[in-house]
Amino acid sequence: MRAPLAYSYGVARNVWHEDTRERKSVPLEVDVASPEHPDPKAYELELQCLDHCLARLSPGDRDVVTRYHGQRGRDKNPVRRGLADGAGGMNALRIRVCRIRKELRVCVVECRKRLSN
């Protein structure tokens, strides 16, 4: 055997591929992405802060994040492909949206602190 490390890597990669193929996805019983908010006033405050923070974004960033999250199911695929073409690829789009969401999250938390005091 000329390269035992490369051979071991190849075997490990094949085992990993086989393992991922055998896994079955399990449907969730509850929609954990959008649970009911326990306090309607806090939820309303959060929505107001989100509107405020969206308004503070640049028009380009606001357009990207609203279009990226604006569709559901199969309708989102062509929209996201179009956004990815303009952003330089799907990975670049995901990174951009992640950064925008982080900025929004920080803004919403600060807004909620400001308004609740």
Is 31 part of a structural domain of the chain?
no
For the whole prediction, is pTM greater than 0.75?
no
**10-residue mean pLDDT series, the chain (117 residues):** 82 83 65 65 89 94 92 88 92 94 93 85
Is 21 part of a structural domain of the chain?
no
**Domain count within the chain:** 1
C-beta separation of 100 from 49 below 8 A:
no
Is 81 part of a structural domain of the chain?
yes
